[in-house]
Structures are given as C-alpha cells and as structure tokens.
Structure 1
Amino acid sequence: MPHSTLPPLLAKFNHLKTHRPAPSSFRVLIVAWLLFGCIGSVWSFASPLMSIPDEPAHTIKAAAVARGQLSGTSSGVQGAPLMVQVPGYIADLNQHVCFAQKSNVTADCATPIDSSDRGWRTGKTSAGNYNPVYYGIVGLGSRGLSGETAIYAMRLISTWMVAFFLAAIFAATASLRRFHRPVIAASIALTPAVFFLTGSINPNALEIASTGAVFASLCAIAEQTASKVRLSTLLLVVFTLSASVLAHTRPLSLLWLAIAATAAVLCFGINASLRTLAQRRFQVALLIVGVSCAFALWWVVSAKSFESLLAGAPIPAESAAVAMLDKTVFFMVEYVGVLGWIDTMPPPAALYAWVLGFGAMLFLAYTARPLRARWVMVLLTVTVIAVPTALQASSSEQLGWIWQGRYTLAMVVTLILAAGIATRFRPFRITPWTKSMVRWGLVLGGLAHAYVFLEGLRRYTIGIQDHVNWTEMFEPLWQPPGTWQVLAVIYILLLATCGSFLYRLLTTPPAQARQKLIAPLQPPLSR
C-alpha cells in the first residue's frame, strides 16, 4: 500500500470513530418506552379525572371486568347503557363530568370522589359489550385500592401499556436499513392527541399504538426477509403482541388490523411477503395472531358490540356522508389535539406545525420511488377518507352522529408511517445543513407539544375565557396532583430528553455510508 495514501485513510478511520454505530432496536424500545410512559403519566395527572371523552363509561367497564363481569345487562333498547355491579365510587363517575363540553368551566366544579363508598352499586356504561381484554388489564388497578387512587392506578396501567406499543413503533422503524425518514415519520405521527389519549382510561389509545406497531414491525420483518437476514426475535414478538392486542381493543380494530397488514404487504411486494410466510418462526407468530383474531371476532358477533353505541337523533345516510366528506380536512384539528370532551381546540400555532409536518411527509411520499410505494399511500388515504364516511353513513339513520376524529387516528398514524417507509430510498446525508434542519424540526415539534399541554392545563385550572388569561394561571381555581407548574416543568424536560435522543438517532449515518467509508481500509487490515 503506497505510503502517500495512508494519511487520508487514517483520517477516514479517525472520522469513523466519531460516528455512532447503528441503533440497537432493543435499546430504542427500552428508552422510548420509559420516555413515552413518563410523558403519558404526566398527561394522566394533568388531566382531571373523567376529563377524557367517554372515560366514565370505560372506567366502569374496566372495574366490572376486573370483578368478573365480562359484559353488562342490557335493557334491550339500542343505545341504552348496559348495567354492571361495581363499587359505589365507580358507579357514580358519570356525575363527575360537570366541566364536559364547557371549556370555560374549571375542574373544581367536580365533587371529590368518595373513596369510602365501596358497597356494590349499579353502574351504567356504554362500553358494556366491548371486548373485555383491555378492560380486564386496566381494571386490576381498582382491586385493593379505592377512590381517586384506584382511578389513577388504572390510568397508569393503561398509559404504560400503550407506551410500550408506541415505543415498538420506533424500535421497528429504527431497525430498518434506511431508518432516518421512517423515524422522522414516526415522530410526526405521534401528535399531542396521541399522548393525551395515552394518559386516559380509553382503548382508543391502545388501538392507535398497536396499529402503528403492527404496520412498522411487519415492514421491518419483510425487509429482513428480503435481505435474507435471520428474523429478529424482538420484531416477531412486537408483531405478535401488537396484532394480538389490537384485535381486542375496539369493535373496528379487526378492520384496522387487516388494512395495516395489507399496507405492509404492498410496501415490500408479494414476493417478499411470500418469503416471509415461508419462515417457520413467522408462521408460529401468525398462528398466535390468528387465534387471537378468531376470539375477537367471536366476541364482536356474539356480544353484539356495535349495539352498545349510544343512539342520537337520526340523520339521513346521504346527509351524513356529505357531512363526513366536508369534515375531512377539519378532522385534522382532532388528529393534532382537541382536548377534554371535544371542547378545547389546539392552539393554531401547534396545529400549523403538524399541518406542515403531515404535508411534507405526504408530498414526499406521493412523489417517491419505487412507484409501488404510492399505491400504499393511495390505499391508506382512501381508508382515512372513505371508511369513516361509509361507517357513519351506514349507521346514521339508527344511531345519529357517532364519528369523532380520534376514531381515525389509528389509520392516520399508519398513513404517516407509510409515508416514511415510502420515502426511505431518498438520500439522507448527514451534513451540517441536515443537522440544523433536524435541530430546528425537533425544537418546533417540542414547542408545539408543550403549547398544547399548557393549553390543557389552562383549560382546567382557570378555563378558556373571552379574554387572554395566561397570567391568571398563577391563581388557579383547580390544581392537578403536584401542581400544574411542576407538571409543566417535568413535561418540558421530558420533551427535551426525547428531542436529544431523536437528534442522536437521526444524525447517525446510514449503514451504507459507513460501509463505503470503511471499505478502503479493509484490504490492508485483512493482510
């Protein structure tokens, strides 16, 4: 080897030592789980009890299932709540929503929950016929505890369960060979609305997280199969758990599971999917998922889960369909973060931040190559627009208006993740300009998350009034556990920590770039 070429190669070698190795999927999973669990926990304390849509119904259902009542007693009338036997402090939760749909009313209007009222009483829940799996797990928090302590325990169990599947999305996307854009897409997909729901007793959050985890893990598994790499045990476990749990979250979850799996197949093609199916370990995972889905489908049919829906004023199907199509873009507000009982809009600045992020990812995906990636985008875009419209129109004459934007969030998150997968082949060079873009993007996202969180605190501590009243928060009418000031500081620190880890991850050079850089050194070293 000529002596003149040695210094440049040594310089390259020294440069390599400053670059971090490819991220470990397991490490990403653990770190993300801890961070998302803490973020969801802060939301669970910052949101007054029963301040999330339908939380009383889900809490009553969870307490009942934990005590062996898998479904409630029906009056036989469509839309009427089902009756279950639960402790008195649980049965009365429907009376603690005096602030619901009144953004100017603070949370101090709610009377304290009587922890001594533990005698059996009849509780009413609109979720009585829903699949009991989620509720059985969350309801364990009410066993041996009482009052607000029991309800916070139930919230935290739900939070950390959801946080695991949110973290699984990042673990799966980070395991891809070209992981940068998929990880960016995952960061954009997790809006404040996702974390707001994560801190509640509501299977909606688990549905969102597990749908995203199914899609991301299937994509990562398909890539490993196409590369003839041994399938990662972690990814197989993530897929098995997320798909099995997703099937049991809500009545529509089996549909979301089918669409997410189909989208993953389209991302990598039929041939890659057939090779994956030929893997014995994947077949075992698929068998477990199939058994879980079969039970979930049996429950939906036998328990008549859709008949638990509350009935409202009938709406002609045509009018409902037109109204849904007209609201397609407006639902973006709910995707970002409508808080409370759909009564507190996100600050416009935060909304625009996600409009920018969503728009950029979708634009890149619809112009991406290979062309087959665009078919995935078409499938998921049609799903986000057409499926809710069809479901609302088909039930509007019996149930009235039932749809909310959060019901589509599982598919919206999958759509943005698919955009990241579709754009993974675009060059992502780690340059000073790239690093600057990543830093500013993370700062913008962090500020938007913090702004929505503070808006939620303002809504419940002093109410959203006709005048600007941020300074009045220092004389709050209601305080969450630990005070809003402490929770706000903790939340901002958690966001900063998330941003720091994401920056390290996104400034890790692609594997191909590292390989090209080290290649000239290999022959001399081998000799």
Structure 2
Amino acid sequence: MASTADGRATAAAVRTPWPASRVFSVVWALLSALSAVWALATPISGSPDEPAHIVRAASVVRGELVGTPSADGHVVTVPRYIADTQRETCFAFHPRVTANCPVADHGDPGALTSGTTTAGLYNPLYYYAVGWPSLLFSTDAGIYAMRIVSGILSSLFAALALLVLWRRDPSPFLVLGFAVAVTPLTLFLNGSVNPNGLEATATLAVFAGVLSIVRGGADVPLGPAAAVVAAAGFVAVNARGLSPLWVLLAVVLPLVLLDRRALWSLLRRRAVLIAAAVVAAGTIAALAWTLGSNSLLNAVDHPESTPQRFAGVGTNFFSGFFITMERTVEYAHGVIGLFGWLDTPAPPEVFFVWTALIGALLLAAFSLLRSRALLLAVLLLASFVLLPPLVQGVYITGGGVIWQGRYVLPLFLCLIVGLAVLLGGRVPFTPEAAPWRRLSWIVVVALAVAQFYAFENTLRRYSVGDGGSLKAFLLGSPPWAPPGGNLVLLVLFAALVAAGAWLALRSVLRVRHDTPTPLVAAGA
C-alpha cells in the first residue's frame, strides 16, 4: 500500500513543463551569478592570457584599436591599474605560489600610462562589450566589473540556447545534457576577461537555434529561433579568429537532419533568410578584420612584434596533426577543468564525473540513435576530435604548437547539448519510474558536488598554494584572499550550486516524456 501511495504522489507531482520565459530568466540569472563568483574568486591576471585581454579591452573602449607594434606586443595607453596586470602573474605556472604578487606602487592607479598587449590585433567587438567598466573605475574594481559583464553576456547566450530548445521540446534529457555541458571550465572562462567564453556560448546558441528550426514543422513559427541565430551568429563570428569555422559547423551540421526537399523548403522561409543574411554580414565583417589585421598569422609573419614563441616551428603538417591527435584526451581535459594559466587542473574526481557522464551520453547516442540522427551525432563527434589536429597541422609549420583544449569548447557544447536533444527525441522518460528518478538524482548530485569541488580546489590553490593549509585557507589569514574572503565565496558558490541542482531536478522530474518528439516533423 505504501508503494502504491508513493506512486500516486509521484505521478501527481508530474506536471506541465515550466514556461520557456521562466526557464530563460532563471538560467540566465543562475549562470551569471555562478560566473560572477568565479570572477571574484580568480585573482587578477589569473586566467589564460588575461592581462593581454584586459589591456586590449581598456584600450579599445578608449578609441585605440591597434596601438604601436613592439617586441613585447602592441603598445597602447591605458590606466595604470590596467597596465599593472602584466606584472601580477607571479603565480602563473607555479602551483605552490600564492596570488599575492608584489607590485610596486607607482602613484595614481587611474593615471594613463603605456601598456602592452599580445591581443592588439584581435577583433574589437568583444572588447567593446566588456571594456566599458574600466571607464567608470580607477582601481581593480574595474577589472572585476569587466569580468562580471563578460559573465553576464556569456550566460545570456547559454540561456538563449536552452530557451529555443525548451520551446521546441522540453525534454528531461535536455536539462541533464545542458548541466553536463556547463563544465567548471565554462563558468571559469565566463568569469574571465577572455573572448573564449562568449565565443563558446554564442556558438552554442547558433547551433541550438538552427537545431530548433530544423526540428520544427512547416507551420511552426521560426521568428524567435531565427532571431537567436542572427544575434548569436553575429556575435560569435566576431569573437575570435577561428570563430567563423565553429559557427559554420553550428549552422551546417543540423541541416543533415533534413532531406533535400525539406531543406529547400526551409531555405525559402523569410525568417531563415533574414537570419542567414545577418550571420553572413557578421562573417564578412569578421573575415575583413582578421585578414586586414592579419591577426591569425601576425606571429608567423612578424615574430619581432610579439614575445610569444612556440615549439615545433618548421614541423610539417602531418607531424602537427598526429601530435595533436595523440593528445586528444589531454586536450579534452581543457574543456572540463584546467584553470589558471593551464597550471591548475581540477581534482581527478571532477574529471571522473564528467568523463563518466560524457561517455554514457556517447554510448547511449551511438546505441540508440538511427538514420539522420545518428549521422549528426557522428559528425558532431568527428568535428570535435578531428578539427583540432587539422587546424594545428596547418599552423604548426609557421607558428608551432599553439593548441589548447579550451579552444574547442564551442564544439564541445554543441556536441553534448546536441546528443542530449537527439536522445530526447528517441527515448521516453517517465519520472514516476524509480530508475529514471534515481538516474536523475545521481547525475545532478554528482555534477553539483564536482562543480563545488573544482571551485574550492582552485580557490585554495590561489589562496594558500597547492597543498597549503586547509585551516589557514578557511579560518586563518591566508597569503591571498578574494574580495569578501574565502569562506563567504565558498558558501555563496555552494548555495548557488545547490539551487541549480534543485531547479534541475524539479524541471527533470516535472515532465513526463512518454511520446518522444520526432527528430524532424513530417511537414518540414
């Protein structure tokens, strides 16, 4: 009798899915808050190449788009506290060194002075978007504000991606897949002054929008999804030098779900044509900047204008390809949790959780998907695995080995979310069934604990050094502490992660998914 009563109570709790507008606002707010805590917990200059990006952002919003080439990068004029970020990297590549770098006091931190940046030729769009807080502050508060703005923008596009997919089909698999896609590295990059985070989430929004359009029928309104594709596509292609390649894949790959007649019908719809025109215009602008500035090959053509040197210069294409290919698993760690200047990996348990869940998702996809859905899954995985070796092979002869795992984060997000959507269209989900409830709890709780552990471990490394005293970290006077202190940020992050876990479970267990939505509507 007890089990029957429990079943009735569980079935009663299964209600209609939350409105898409509520999902969007909650996810945007939650991801922005988590990114902001990462922004506060990371010391100034504590993410890859962040000093170069900080100086670039502050110079761009002051009207200096390029600066003057020099052996240390492009020389620009910025406030002194911005220029000093280049000297606040004593802990980089030294895990046992804390982040309290001694920087000499040169007077007014807001006074304008010369600074250098190795990002002086990068597309200015991202730097316009995040650099304006440096006009309002004359202390390090301006840098933290730039990080928070970057996190809000990056989280906006992640929330838009979930919004368009949720409007089309509020599948429990979508929620779980999205939770797997938002790795600790994603939140860390969102909370840094670095275009990598915005590039990744905006590319995901493009992919999600196109996937939603493709999976809709002939009578389904395309306006909202097309608007997301247009806005996200314009931003994404102008984020970094390789961004047009990722956006091209995000647009083209979902089209394999359509046959020739359905594709032709879709390409004649007004909303699709407008979105395509906007993305094309953004792509032309991005390519014009990249080719005009020679930002991708400047270090090759003008090595005297940059201090960066990389091993492998002169090596042939095939060596570059196989060097990168054999390090695929190592590079894959870079989309999960390599923090700092790639010198602070997440604990092994964090990698285990994400590796297990990604492996389970891949296994389920390649076991259960059929026909065009299986083809899309294969293409997504092949792009994630093969494009890094191809790009590195092309670049290695002139520029050496430059690849980092975080560079392929856009394709990782598309892969994980794409597989979750495809599985949601294939597998029925009944939340009152004990196995599904148990699976949901295991996945969500494991991800929540791993998120917190990655955050705590990274903050502890900055504060007391790798292997430092836990007592000093939590209750003592550590050599370095973030604004608000270690304990406050740990409690805040734990509360946000717990809230996210609760919301994820509520949304997953709220929807019965007995009849999966067809991957492509019959009228497409």
Map of 1:213 onto structure 2: 205
For 1:178 and 1:269, the matched residues in 2 are separated by 25
Map of 2:291 onto structure 1: 301
For 2:101 and 2:276, the matched residues in 1 are separated by 50
Map of 2:310 onto structure 1: 312
Map of 1:525 onto structure 2: none
- 1:180 equivalenced with 2:172 (yes/no): yes
**What SS does the aligned partner of 1:97 have?**
coil
Contact 2:427–2:516 (CA under 8 A) maintained in structure 1: no
- 1:504 equivalenced with 2:506 (yes/no): yes
Counterpart AA for 2:369: R
Map of 1:523 onto structure 2: none
Higher gyration radius (CA): 1
Counterpart AA for 1:452: A
CA gap 1:462/1:348 in 2 versus in 1, 3 angstroms: same
Match of residue 58, structure 1, among 47, 53, 58 = 53
Q: RMSD of the alignment, in Å? A: 2.3
Map of 2:488 onto structure 1: 486
Residue 116 of structure 1 and its aligned partner are, at CA, apart by 1.9
Q: C-alpha offsets along residues 4-53 of structure 1, whole Å, 9 cap, x if unaligned?
A: xxxxxxxx999987432233222111110000000000000000011001
Match of residue 119, structure 2, among 115, 118, 127 = 127
Residue 507 of structure 1 and its aligned partner are, at CA, apart by 1.3
Which sits farther off after the overlay, 393-402 or 110-119?
A: 110-119
Map of 2:23 onto structure 1: 28
**What SS does the aligned partner of 1:84 have?**
strand
Listed as ranges, the matches of 1:216-255 within 5 Å are 216-224=208-216, 226=217, 228-231=219-222, 233-255=223-245
For 1:470 and 1:362, the matched residues in 2 are separated by 38
**What SS does the aligned partner of 2:122 have?**
coil
- 1:277 equivalenced with 2:267 (yes/no): yes
Map of 2:101 onto structure 1: 109
CA gap 1:111/1:21 in 2 versus in 1, 3 angstroms: same
Question: Quick one: percent identity of the two aligned structures?
Answer: 31
Residue 319 of structure 1 and its aligned partner are, at CA, apart by 3.4
Residue 95 of structure 1 and its aligned partner are, at CA, apart by 0.7
Counterpart AA for 1:85: T
- 1:160 equivalenced with 2:166 (yes/no): no
Contact 1:22–1:511 (CA under 8 A) maintained in structure 2: no
Residue 370 of structure 1 and its aligned partner are, at CA, apart by 2.7
Contact 1:365–1:374 (CA under 8 A) maintained in structure 2: yes
For 1:386 and 1:326, the matched residues in 2 are separated by 11
Map of 1:8 onto structure 2: none
Counterpart AA for 1:406: R
Residue 432 of structure 1 and its aligned partner are, at CA, apart by 3.0
For 1:494 and 1:269, the matched residues in 2 are separated by 44
- 1:364 equivalenced with 2:388 (yes/no): no
Counterpart AA for 2:439: M
Map of 2:73 onto structure 1: 81
Residue 454 of structure 1 and its aligned partner are, at CA, apart by 0.3
Match of residue 449, structure 1, among 448, 451, 460 = 451
- 1:477 equivalenced with 2:467 (yes/no): no
Contact 2:428–2:514 (CA under 8 A) maintained in structure 1: no
Map of 1:429 onto structure 2: 430
Map of 1:95 onto structure 2: 87
**What SS does the aligned partner of 2:322 have?**
helix
CA gap 1:44/1:253 in 2 versus in 1, 3 angstroms: same
For 2:236 and 2:330, the matched residues in 1 are separated by 27
Q: C-alpha offsets along residues 129-151 of structure 1, whole Å, 9 cap, x if unaligned?
A: 11111001111011131120111
Map of 1:524 onto structure 2: none
> Please, what TM-score do these two structures have when normalized by structure 1?
0.89
Residue 114 of structure 1 and its aligned partner are, at CA, apart by 6.5
Listed as ranges, the matches of 1:193-208 within 5 Å are 193-208=185-200
Instruction: Give the gaps of 5 or more residues in structure 2.
Output: 1-6, 300-307, 518-524
**What SS does the aligned partner of 1:243 have?**
helix
CA gap 1:223/1:115 in 2 versus in 1, 3 angstroms: farther
Counterpart AA for 2:367: T
Which sits farther off after the overlay, 113-122 or 174-183?
A: 113-122
**What SS does the aligned partner of 2:168 have?**
coil
Counterpart AA for 1:65: V
Instruction: Give the gaps of 5 or more residues in structure 1.
Output: 1-11, 516-527
Contact 1:211–1:410 (CA under 8 A) maintained in structure 2: yes
**What SS does the aligned partner of 2:75 have?**
strand
Counterpart AA for 1:354: W
CA gap 1:478/1:15 in 2 versus in 1, 3 angstroms: closer
**What SS does the aligned partner of 2:140 have?**
helix
Listed as ranges, the matches of 1:383-398 within 5 Å are 383-398=383-398
Counterpart AA for 1:443: V
CA gap 1:409/1:229 in 2 versus in 1, 3 angstroms: same
Contact 1:115–1:148 (CA under 8 A) maintained in structure 2: no
**What SS does the aligned partner of 2:462 have?**
helix
Counterpart AA for 1:311: R
For 2:261 and 2:153, the matched residues in 1 are separated by 34
Residue 57 of structure 1 and its aligned partner are, at CA, apart by 0.4
Residue 514 of structure 1 and its aligned partner are, at CA, apart by 12
**What SS does the aligned partner of 1:171 have?**
helix
Map of 1:460 onto structure 2: 462
CA gap 1:14/1:383 in 2 versus in 1, 3 angstroms: closer
CA gap 1:307/1:119 in 2 versus in 1, 3 angstroms: farther
| Equivalent residue pairs, number | 497
Counterpart AA for 1:27: R
Residue 179 of structure 1 and its aligned partner are, at CA, apart by 2.0
For 2:504 and 2:486, the matched residues in 1 are separated by 27
Map of 2:280 onto structure 1: 290
For 2:423 and 2:241, the matched residues in 1 are separated by 32
Counterpart AA for 2:495: L
For 1:359 and 1:480, the matched residues in 2 are separated by 36
For 2:448 and 2:214, the matched residues in 1 are separated by 32
Counterpart AA for 1:42: V
Contact 2:430–2:513 (CA under 8 A) maintained in structure 1: no
Map of 1:520 onto structure 2: none
Counterpart AA for 1:454: E
CA gap 1:126/1:423 in 2 versus in 1, 3 angstroms: same
For 1:93 and 1:15, the matched residues in 2 are separated by 55
**What SS does the aligned partner of 2:116 have?**
strand
